[in-house]
Amino acid sequence: METKVYSTYYELSENAAKEIIDIVKKKPSAVLCLASGETPKLTCQKLVEKAKLENIDFSKIVFIGLDEWVGIPPDNEGSCHFFFQTQLFKHLNFSEQRIHLFNGMADDLTKECGKMDTVIFDHGGIDLMLVGIGMNGHVGFNEPGASFLNYSHVMDLDSVTTSVGQKYFKETMDLKRGITLGLKHLVESKKVLMLANGERKARIIKAALQGRMGNLVPASIVQTIPHATVMLDKEAASLLENNSGCL
């Protein structure tokens, strides 16, 4: 695991977008998995800007959505579907048949997980996974206690997630479960970027990167992933020991 600290969220986002562009340039049929949420929002915006400027083709990219709220329809503005649709798909030339997002409304969620795992396996695995970190250390919806050995699965949401998650919705929602890629996907992904910004993430970043590795803080699995880069702004990195300063 490597940690990079940027002086601003803007710089962090520009660099994360550049990492994605570099992969797409090298492998136009790459399998990309991105998180939704506040953290990667500016990365997506920068990605769209750079991709348009450089005329980058996304038509062969296989896109995997990291997670989804169970029971939330895709047209709800708080859904992960809605995020990708508005932040990425409507701006870049992704092929619809190569976009794979969990359907949080599916009757058979186990089947939905199996379908996602098969897509990933059939395409030779994920080339790049870009994830955020929840206030409780979750990755996707791998909540505290999640097994490090899981592929896609459904998980009951922790109370921190159900309350923090309200920020994505216009009305108060009854959030109970999430459907998500597993931590085993993260370990097996060829490249991992974990992003965090802002002072509110400093405590959990310290726990994930320098605390005891274990599933009480799912993001701590990143300590075991040599090909992972944790990209932080200086606020999110502010509690780290041996923090050698900004790039």
Read out DSSP for the chain? -EEEEESSHHHHHHHHHHHHHHHHHH-TT-EEEE--SSTTHHHHHHHHHHHHHTT---TT-EEEE-EEETT--TTSTTSHHHHHIIIIITTS---GGGEE---TT-S-HHHHHHHHHHHHHHTTS-SEEEE---TTS-BTTB-TT--TT--SEEEEPPHHHHHHGGGG-SS-----EEEE--HHHHHHSS-EEEEE-SGGGHHHHHHHHHS--STTSGGGGGGG-TTEEEEEETTTTTT-TT-----
- Partners of 128 in beta bridges: 32
Active-site position among 68, 112, 127, 143:
143
Q: Which residues, numbered 165-184, are part of the site for ligand GLP (CB under 6 A)?
A: 165
Residues comprising the chain, all counted: 247
Q: Does 37 bind ligand GLP (CB under 6 A)?
A: yes
Closer Cβ to ligand GLP, 62 or 140, answer by number: 140
Catalytic residue, from 81, 138, 153, 185: name it: 138
Q: Which stretch binds ligand GLP (CB under 6 A): 24-32, 49-57, 126-134, 211-219?
A: 126-134
Choices 11-19, 20-28, 133-141, 208-216; region in contact with ligand GLP by CB under 6 A: 133-141
Q: Is 123 a catalytic residue?
A: no
136 is known as an active-site residue? yes
138 is catalytic: yes
Under rule CB under 6 A, which residues in 139-158 are in contact with ligand GLP?
Answer: 140-141
Catalytic residue among 15, 67, 81, 233: 67
* Options 2, 38, 122, 156; binder of ligand GLP; rule CB under 6 A: 38
How many Å separate Cα 84 from the centre of its chain? Answer: 12
Q: Please choose, out of 19-27, 31-39, 47-55, 236-244, the segment that lies near ligand GLP by the rule CB under 6 A.
A: 31-39
Q: How many residues bind ligand GLP (CB under 6 A)?
A: 13
Asked whether position 65 contacts ligand GLP by CB under 6 A, the answer is no
Kindly indicate which of the ranges 5-13, 32-40, 81-89, 101-109 contains the residues binding ligand GLP, using the contact rule CB under 6 A: 32-40
Binding region for ligand GLP (CB under 6 A): 35, 37-39, 66-67, 131-132, 134, 140-141, 161, 165
